[in-house]
Amino acid sequence: MRIKKGDNVKVIAGKDRGKTGKVIQAFPQLGKIVVENANMLKKHLRGKQKGQQGQVIEFSAPLSATNVLLICPKCAKPSRVGMKVLEDGKKGRTCKKCKEVIE
Ligand SMILES: [Zn+2]
């Protein structure tokens, strides 16, 4: 997966298309990420005891990593991410727009 926790991304599909936010959780094995303030869902919790009020909690649901573009920290544009082998032999991510290596 080319999107990591802490990345800033732009949502390009689904109901939150156009929104930008920070990745707060990543699930590489599922290909899913959680983006701050995107894909908000409401969950209704019933009161545990009789007479107690239930509550509604809002949370960001995971969305597919393919539905977002990374916002490149170098050129500040939403971009596809490429991979390349760096000088030290490690694989690094690169911005397809400005060709810079992204940490
Ligand atoms: Zn760039």
Chain segment 47-76, per-residue pLDDT in tens:
888 888 889 999 999 999 999 999 999 999
Q: Which two tokens stand for residue 36?
A: 């701050």
CA separation for the pair 25, 16 (Å, rounded) = 17
Cβ atoms of 32 and 62 within 8 Å: the answer is: yes
Distance 31 CA to ligand 1 centre (A): 23
Entry field: residues in the chain: 103
Q: Please, which residues have CB less than 5 A from ligand 1, an ion?
A: 72, 74-75, 95, 97-98
> From the CA of 54, how far away is ligand 1's center (Å)?
46
Record the pTM.
0.85
Q: What distances in angstroms separate CA 7 from CA 34, 60, 89, one per listed residue? A: 11, 16, 23
Q: Which residues pair with 60 in a beta bridge?
A: 40
> What is the sign, positive or negative, of the torsion defined by CA atoms of 61, 73, 5, 95?
positive
Spans of the chain, pLDDT less than 70: none
